[in-house]
Structure 1
């Protein structure tokens, strides 16, 4: 194992560039998927007859597809129908679609976990359905949803590494380029890549714990 050679300044710089791409793709995907997931999850919870059923089919279909397949589809299949996405945007689109489906189910389940008695009491006191959702259901549901939502964000960050199949220049991709130069670089590079992923994911988990404590 050649730690000195593997951790040469130019190699570390190259890894950091890839790490920045990983963080950028993950951050944008997290924001978009949370917005879309919140909308879809709330609409499914509202049980609007046709809309809810259509969304349920779409969500269940996406949730039961491999993320790798969705990544391949966004980059290789969409151009066949005239939608050409640059590698970074293809990765963001795939991650957003997949994670939105996952988050929508988390949000729907969180909303459904609120006791019906509270909802009935709010409605009987004169609150509209939207007001009940906004002031009674959502604040309590968010407290319960924090751990699974952050868990999904952590999974999404790790899943960005799957975009290496379309040559996204992220942390994993750049790490592969470095250790392909010399066999003795494999373990050192895998080690530092693992540490980088761990640091970010650990920070996210700590943020989730603090949010839980504050909401308690």
Structure 2
């Protein structure tokens, strides 16, 4: 194990560049999946005839597929029907689709957890269904959704490493290049990669716990 050479300025800069792309991919996928998942989860909670059943079926299919398969499908299969994406957009789209399905279920469950009497009281006061949902139900549900949502976002950050299979130049891909130069770099580089993931994910976990404490 050659820690000194493995942690040269050039190698660390190269790894940090890969990690920066990892964070950007995760952030974009988090924002998009929360928007899409929120929309789908709310529609499912509203139990709109036919539409809710179709969305439920799509969500269940996606949730029960491996993310790796979705990445492969996005990058390799879609070009067969004329839809082609470069590596990074393909990875972001795959992550967004997969995580949106997970988030939609969290949001639907969060909305369902609110006592039905809240909706009935809001409706009796003259609010429409969607006004009651937006002003009364959703604010309460969001506080309950914080821990599982943050946990899902932590999983998303870790899942970005799967993008290495389509040669996205993120942290894991750059790590492979660095330790491929010399076998003695393997352990030091993997330890550095593990540290990068741990720091960000642990920070998110601490933030989630503090938000949960404030909520209670």
TM-score normalized with structure 1 length: 0.98
| SS of 1:49 mapped into structure 2 | coil
Deviations 1:123-155 (A, max 9, x none): 222222112111221111011100000000000
Structure 1: 4+ residue segments shifted above 3 A: none
Q: Which residues of 2 match residues 28-107 of structure 1 at below 5 A?
A: 28-107=28-107
Figure out how many residues of one structure are paired with residues of the other and give that number. 216
Deviations 1:4-26 (A, max 9, x none): 11101110011011001100100
Residue in 2 that maps onto 1:147: 147
Q: Which residues of 2 match residues 120-199 of structure 1 at below 5 A?
A: 120-199=120-199
User: Within 1, Cα distance between the matches of 2:16 and 2:203?
Assistant: 18
- The unaligned stretches of length 5 or more in structure 2 are none
Residue in 2 that maps onto 1:8: 8
Report how far residue 192 of structure 1 moved.
Answer: 0.5
- The unaligned stretches of length 5 or more in structure 1 are none
Report how far residue 50 of structure 1 moved.
Answer: 1.1
**CA-based RMSD:** 0.9
